[in-house]
Structure 1
Amino acid sequence: MDAVKDSMEYRYVRLVRLLVVKLGSSMKLHVRLRVWVALAATYVIVMGLVLLMQIPLRSNTLHSHYDMSAEAVMKKHNAIVKKEADKYAKAALRDSSATMEESQQIVLLTNIFKKADTNVNGLLELKELSAWISTKTKEHLTLALRENFFMFTAIDQNPRNGVVSWDEYHAYFLKQHGYSDEFISNHKHNHKGMPREIKESIMRDKAAWSEAARDKPDQLTIDEFLAFRHPESSHATILNIVEETLARLDVDGDSKLTEEEFSDPENNDVPDDMTPGEYKHERLEEFKIADEDENGKIDRREMLRYLDPRHVHHAEKDAVTLLTVADSNQDGALSLPEVLAKSSIFMASKMVDVARSFHDEF
């Protein structure tokens, strides 16, 4: 009997334990369901607030670090270039011989470098440099034409007759330098007491005026005034250069230039830094560019187009010159440090100052 009793109690205990386990399991499942429902409801509420208030879902720092979009790459590149430029600027400021002008040059060259570096690889390649110079040249020539009209109109006052006399220009020049009307009227020809740089500038202008005046030596038409102020923009000036070139080089008198006539060192001014052989080789390469119809001769029309400052070969030639001078590691491209190392050369080039470069040439 005792054995049977023990057996029944054992089965009872097992049954109770089984019920408790099942009940416990049922309760845990219920709790889990309630928790998941609560989490789901919380998620829906949070996402609703995000959409409603436009809250960013990820860190801007993380985004900028991993974002490979064009905008992000450009931002990262600009930061690197700025850091490099800041290093040079700080070094210049620490140098006791450095001036504020040098620091400003660093900032200017850095900004131009970033704009010209169109593929954003931290280097100025020949194609990029040439394209930048060509664009800046065209902008300058367009601005010169616009400026010429307004300046001519402003000077042509006494009398307003469609031409500008030397006296009108001289009075305008002195007024722009701060002189009074009374002083100007008493110093039309006498420059006594003026600073030396003002006198020299007047002398240079007088010489340029004489070259531009084709009909009457004491007055200029609007086209002649353009040749006086911006000879690089004047079609008449370029045409005169064409005629002078033909007169000097056209040996057989057919109004066209052969390869030999165009490249002959004997009839051309060979630069001091070139041998006659080097000069002839360079001119033969330029002949191929100017001879558009490839008939072996350059006529007036081709020469005019070749000498036009807008012709792309001028920009390419300037770019090659800058690359040759500044490419210290000989990799065929310019880094920002290489440009800054030759800052004085670049500041005087068409990459930075087209007007100054043209006026030095003409």
Structure 2
Amino acid sequence: MSLLMMILIPVRKLLRVSSIMRLDVRLRLWVGLASAYLIFMGFVHLLHIPLRSNTLHSHYDLSAEAVIAKHREAVKREAEKYAKAALRDSNAGLETSQQISLLTETFKKADSNADGLLELSELSSWISSKIKEHLNLALKENIFMFTAIDQNPRNGQVSWDEFHRYFLKQHGYDDKYIEDHKKDHKGMPRELKETIMRDKAAWSEAARNDPEQLSIDEFLAFRHPESSHATILNIVEETIARLDIDGDNKLTEDEFSDPEVNEVPDYMTVEQYRNERLKEFRIADEDENGKLERRELLRYIDPRNVHHAEKEAVNLLSGGDTNQDGVLTLIEVLAQREMFMSSKMVDAAKSFHDEF
């Protein structure tokens, strides 16, 4: 045997032993790691340690509702900044300044305890008083206007021709134009033409006996339908005729809240609409017998019913309460100027006329 072979044989034996040893070490290492993992998971299970933080999910909620809510909050914050800036800016536009002044004055009057916060009860009470004030004023105004228009002839009836003459006179047109003007009112501003068209449509709705003449009650329905008992009674009759499926002249909960018969607003689901109507039904059902009769519907629809003011107050509070603390500050009101300016809190007459 050569010297080279005598050297290689022991070396090969040593390498084989070394390889076996390395494999044994690797196996021991993997077994140790697996044991450690099992022990760790056992502790996690016993101690109820969360493996994933819920903070990430809640902080980065990307659901459609969360995105919309965050967008609304961002818009409200920007609106509040704008309102604060407008309060400080002496050079704000005339319309903006007038709105801020009116809303500030109204807020202070509605804030009965003068604590700088409008609670739901204060807002509801104020709106209720504004509704009654408007309705009473409408009744008084109706008598004076009817008497002023009923001139030619003075017969206790107002004709469309008499009213139209009065309308043109009130808008600055002279007697010559009133006598000689063409029916299409050529040259008249578009806004006035549209007003005449709306008045003509409202006149047709109010004229129950003679399409060309109105009695004093019909004239009230024409000018202020929300103040007219006859208008409210007509609404009751139409409501019963439309919803009374079994023909007993009364409405059940199902009939009153049926989304297939009623028109569901775009911003509500069918279920939301049904629940809202059921709430209204229970308010209107005074004797709690599960049936709405004409007298109950009449009182429910009457604008003087306090529930109308309460509902308006709830809507305004939910729409303006940025920080969700259940009350309104002046800044929150100013941040939603358009909503409050068109509400019964500020302008009951315009709000009613938009509804009717």
State the alpha-carbon separation in 2 of the partners of residues 360 and 272 from structure 1: 18
Residue 141 of structure 1 pairs with residue 135 of structure 2: yes
What secondary structure is seen at the aligned counterpart in 2 of 1:356?
A: helix
Taking a change above 3 Å as real, the CA distance of residues 87 and 342 of structure 1, as seen in their structure-2 partners, is closer
- State the 1:109 CA deviation: 0.6
TM-score normalized with structure 1 length: 0.74
**Number of the residue aligned with 1:247:** 241
Aligned mate of 1:283, from 260, 277, 282: 277
State the alpha-carbon separation in 2 of the partners of residues 88 and 352 from structure 1: 22
Contact 1:92/1:103, CA 8 A, preserved across alignment: no
**Number of the residue aligned with 1:114:** 108
**Number of the residue aligned with 2:118:** 124
Contact 1:155/1:168, CA 8 A, preserved across alignment: yes
Moved over 3 A (4+): 86-94
Taking a change above 3 Å as real, the CA distance of residues 101 and 289 of structure 1, as seen in their structure-2 partners, is same
Taking a change above 3 Å as real, the CA distance of residues 92 and 253 of structure 1, as seen in their structure-2 partners, is farther
What secondary structure is seen at the aligned counterpart in 2 of 1:193?
A: coil
State the alpha-carbon separation in 1 of the partners of residues 332 and 85 from structure 2: 11
Could you tell me which amino acid in structure 1 is paired with residue 264 of structure 2? Answer: V
- State the 1:124 CA deviation: 0.5
Q: Deviations over 1:194-241 (max 9, x none)?
A: 110110000000000000000000010000000000000000000000
**Number of the residue aligned with 1:48:** none
Taking a change above 3 Å as real, the CA distance of residues 134 and 107 of structure 1, as seen in their structure-2 partners, is same
- State the 1:188 CA deviation: 6.0
**Number of the residue aligned with 2:262:** 268
**Number of the residue aligned with 2:319:** 325
Aligned mate of 1:91, from 88, 93, 100: 88
**Number of the residue aligned with 1:307:** 301
Contact 1:170/1:188, CA 8 A, preserved across alignment: no
Aligned mate of 2:195, from 178, 201, 217: 201
**Number of the residue aligned with 1:354:** 348
State the alpha-carbon separation in 1 of the partners of residues 283 and 309 from structure 2: 13
State the alpha-carbon separation in 2 of the partners of residues 235 and 88 from structure 1: 46
Residue 294 of structure 1 pairs with residue 277 of structure 2: no
Residue 228 of structure 1 pairs with residue 219 of structure 2: no
**Number of the residue aligned with 1:8:** none
Bigger relative contact order, structure 1 or 2 (CA pairs below 8 A, ≥6 apart)? 2
State the alpha-carbon separation in 2 of the partners of residues 92 and 255 from structure 1: 59
State the alpha-carbon separation in 2 of the partners of residues 340 and 90 from structure 1: 9
- Which runs of structure 2 are paired with 1:21-170 in the superposition (5 Å)? 88-94=85-91, 98-170=92-164
- State the 1:189 CA deviation: 2.2
Taking a change above 3 Å as real, the CA distance of residues 333 and 216 of structure 1, as seen in their structure-2 partners, is same
Could you tell me which amino acid in structure 2 is paired with residue 222 of structure 1? Answer: I
- State the 1:89 CA deviation: 4.5
State the alpha-carbon separation in 2 of the partners of residues 223 and 189 from structure 1: 28
State the alpha-carbon separation in 2 of the partners of residues 87 and 255 from structure 1: 54
**Number of the residue aligned with 1:19:** none
State the alpha-carbon separation in 1 of the partners of residues 288 and 177 from structure 2: 60
What secondary structure is seen at the aligned counterpart in 2 of 1:298?
A: coil
Could you tell me which amino acid in structure 2 is paired with residue 162 of structure 1? Answer: G
State the alpha-carbon separation in 2 of the partners of residues 133 and 331 from structure 1: 21
State the alpha-carbon separation in 1 of the partners of residues 343 and 87 from structure 2: 25
Contact 2:111/2:118, CA 8 A, preserved across alignment: yes
Q: Deviations over 1:126-179 (max 9, x none)?
A: 110000000000000000000000000000001100000000000000000000
Q: How many residues align?
A: 276
**Number of the residue aligned with 2:330:** 336
What secondary structure is seen at the aligned counterpart in 1 of 2:289?
A: coil
RMSD: 1.6
State the alpha-carbon separation in 1 of the partners of residues 136 and 230 from structure 2: 16
- State the 1:119 CA deviation: 1.6
Taking a change above 3 Å as real, the CA distance of residues 198 and 125 of structure 1, as seen in their structure-2 partners, is same
**Number of the residue aligned with 1:13:** none
- State the 1:92 CA deviation: 4.2
Contact 1:171/1:188, CA 8 A, preserved across alignment: no
What secondary structure is seen at the aligned counterpart in 1 of 2:344?
A: coil
TM-score normalized with structure 2 length: 0.76
State the alpha-carbon separation in 1 of the partners of residues 317 and 292 from structure 2: 29
Could you tell me which amino acid in structure 2 is paired with residue 141 of structure 1? Answer: L
What secondary structure is seen at the aligned counterpart in 2 of 1:140?
A: helix
- State the 1:190 CA deviation: 3.4
Q: Deviations over 1:36-93 (max 9, x none)?
A: xxxxxxxxxxxxxxxxxxxxxxxxxxxxxxxxxxxxxxxxxxxxxxxxxx96544344
